[in-house]
């Protein structure tokens, strides 16, 4: 594996290796000295064309925990703001000898294009409405830790599927790992190409809840909407929001997930978001271990990730 561009590129063995490596790193992270020498001398560039405090910080901390040199490159205030193209930026990074480039871009396919211009490994940290593979990996890792299995797990992904790169990556990865996925959304927020995805589709959240082991709520991405996809936020919440009444219909062991940031009161009620069965905070913590594992496996060697 040279790049991580799509969750769909991962085989079952490759995905399991990332999850197992992340678990090893998470357990070792409990010790007093949390830094490993694994990537000493390597350079990782965080190339972010979209604002993202959570994901950029997670990747930066992951690389630093592995002792890599980290360069944060934001489109704002850089040569990009003066009109420099992605290819010219890539060639600049190539000249600087970057071993790994983590890219977030508003254009679907940007990570794939970049991978053809640089010699180092490229990690897709979100490209347009296409994919966000490390988010899917941390979501799946969280499910495996909480539920103890992935094979046969019934997962409902609810909300703005049309604009969600998280949904697509999760569907692909969960299918590879043996889970059964149902997308639940208003008809206007289901992608036209959804028939090619390995999942079922429902427009009825209440019908799906009772038979789901995991319910993943999605953020409504108003900034990507050019028109009205539902009548009002209140109507959306009434039909697709997860409140206490609906939460009570889930079986006792089922968990609730959200990639964040959450819109409380519309996508999810405060009662559900603050429940012990909601894994939002765990997902953030697990994201660090997953990104360390990905960087280690792409840029490291065959030695143990924790130098044991």
For residues 60 and 80, the model is more confident at 60
Query: What's the pLDDT at 77?
Result: 61
132 a catalytic residue: yes
Going by the DSSP 8-state scheme, the letter that residue 50 receives in this structure is S
The residues with which 123 forms a beta bridge, in sequence order, are 4, 102
40 a catalytic residue: no
Query: What's the pLDDT at 109?
Result: 95
Separation of alpha carbons 128 and 108, rounded Å = 4
Convert the pLDDT of each residue in 234-271 to its tens digit. Answer: 889 999 999 999 999 999 999 999 998 888 988 999 99
**Size of the chain, expressed as the number of residues it contains:** 308
Which domains does the chain carry?
3-131+285-300 (3.40.50.1370), 133-280 (3.40.50.1370)
Q: Is 261 annotated as a binding residue?
A: yes
Angle between the N-to-C axes of helices 280-299 and 12-28, in degrees from 0 to 180, rounded to the nearest 10: 110
21 a catalytic residue: no
Q: If we measure between CA atoms, which residue out of 254, 43, 308 comes closest to residue 246?
A: 254
Q: Which two tokens stand for residue 219?
A: 């953020």
Task: Count CB-CB contacts under 10 A for residue 12.
Answer: 12
Query: What's the pLDDT at 229?
Result: 79
Marked catalytic residue, from 3, 104, 105, 162:
104
Marked catalytic residue, from 38, 55, 134, 279:
55
Marked catalytic residue, from 56, 132, 163, 258:
132
pLDDT at 188 over 70: yes
Separation of alpha carbons 255 and 215, rounded Å = 6
Task: Count CB-CB contacts under 10 A for residue 265.
Answer: 14
Separation of alpha carbons 67 and 39, rounded Å = 5
Q: Is 260 annotated as a binding residue?
A: yes
Q: Is 219 annotated as a binding residue?
A: yes
Convert the pLDDT of each residue in 10-44 to its tens digit. Answer: 999 999 999 999 999 999 877 777 889 999 999 99
Contact 53, 260 (CB under 8 A): no
56 a catalytic residue: no
Contact 41, 100 (CB under 8 A): no
pLDDT band at 306 (very low <50, low <70, confident <90, very high): low
Q: What is the pTM of this model?
A: 0.93
Query: What's the pLDDT at 308?
Result: 47
Buried (b) or exposed (e) across 126-145, using 16+ Cβ within 10 A? bbbbbbbbbbbbbbbbbbbe
130 a catalytic residue: no
Q: Is 186 annotated as a binding residue?
A: no
Separation of alpha carbons 111 and 121, rounded Å = 11
Q: Is 276 annotated as a binding residue?
A: no
Marked catalytic residue, from 12, 34, 40, 54:
54
Marked catalytic residue, from 31, 76, 82, 195:
82
Q: If we measure between CA atoms, which residue out of 134, 193, 130, 182 comes closest to residue 158?
A: 182
Separation of alpha carbons 13 and 151, rounded Å = 14
How far out from the chain centre does Cα 304 lie?
25
Convert the pLDDT of each residue in 261-272 to its tens digit. Answer: 888 988 999 999
Contact 137, 283 (CB under 8 A): no
Convert the pLDDT of each residue in 99-143 to its tens digit. Answer: 999 999 999 999 999 999 999 999 999 999 999 999 999 999 999
């Amino acid at each position: 594996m040279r790049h991580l561009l799509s969750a769909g590129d991962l085989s079952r063995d490759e995905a399991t290796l990332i999850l197992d490596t992340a678990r090893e790193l998470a357990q070792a992270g409990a010790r007093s000295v949390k830094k490993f020498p694994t990537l000493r001398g390597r350079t990782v560039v965080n190339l972010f064309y979209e604002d993202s405090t959570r994901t950029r910080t997670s990747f930066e901390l992951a690389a630093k925990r592995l002792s890599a040199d980290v360069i944060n490159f934001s489109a704002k205030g850089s040569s990009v703001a003066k009109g420099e193209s992605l290819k010219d930026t890539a060639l600049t990074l190539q000249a600087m000898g970057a071993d790994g480039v983590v890219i977030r871009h508003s254009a679907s396919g940007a990570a794939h294009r970049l991978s053809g211009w640089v010699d180092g490994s490229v990690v897709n940290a979100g490209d347009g409405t296409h994919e966000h593979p490390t988010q899917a990996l941390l979501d799946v890792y969280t499910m495996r830790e909480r539920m103890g299995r992935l094979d046969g797990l019934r997962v409902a992904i609810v909300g703005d599927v049309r604009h969600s790169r998280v949904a697509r990556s999760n569907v692909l990865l969960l299918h590879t790992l043996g889970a059964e996925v149902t997308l639940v959304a208003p008809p206007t927020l289901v992608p036209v190409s959804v028939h090619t995805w390995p999942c079922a589709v429902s427009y009825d959240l209440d019908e799906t809840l009772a038979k789901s082991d995991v319910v993943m709520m999605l953020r409504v991405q108003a900034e990507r909407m050019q028109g009205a996809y539902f009548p009002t936020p209140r109507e959306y919440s009434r039909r697709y929001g997860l409140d206490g009444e609906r939460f009570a219909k889930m079986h006792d062991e089922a968990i609730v997930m959200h990639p964040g940031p959450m819109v409380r009161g519309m996508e999810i009620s405060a009662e559900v978001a603050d429940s012990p069965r909601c894994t939002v905070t765990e997902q953030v913590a697990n994201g660090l271990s997953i990104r360390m594992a990905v960087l280690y496996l792409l840029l490291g060697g065959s030695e143990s990730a924790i130098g044991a």
